[in-house]
Structure 1
Amino acid sequence: MQLIIQLDAQTARQLEEIQAHTNQDISLVIQQGIGLYYQQLQPHRQFYIETKRQYELVCNVSATTSSN
């Protein structure tokens, strides 16, 4: 996938600084940044899935109990 983006001055400076310290291509720096962000989101995704599952269980139990 090819992206064309505009960065504000602060973000551009941060990207340049990361690139200077790591000697990595800008594309690799961005790919790794996306990978890190994705990893951070995983616990939140798992929490959402578990919360939804518990809610569905409670609703199913309530519906079963109230129909008796």
Structure 2
Amino acid sequence: MTVGVFTAAKAGDRLEQISVKRDGTRLTRVIELLSAPSLSSPAAYRIVRNDAHPHRVGKTASIRRADIERKYRAA
């Protein structure tokens, strides 16, 4: 995957989300897709790194394809 262009996400892909705090600190969240998203079903993912909430590392959840496209880029 490249930044700004969404290609078909597949299981095993790692994606990152970066946010910058007011003081300039960069907080990174990295997720690993456990399943591929489709238009009708969300993708399962595992949190690999989360600077803002380190206790969430290793937990799983699901995310819609539209949210992946809007919030994440290839890690």
- Structure-1-length-normalised TM-score: 0.19
Q: Which has the higher contact order (CA 8 A, sep 6+)?
A: 2
Compare the two structures and name the one with the higher helix fraction: 1
Q: From the CA coordinates, give the structure whose radius of gyration is larger.
A: 1
- Structure-2-length-normalised TM-score: 0.18
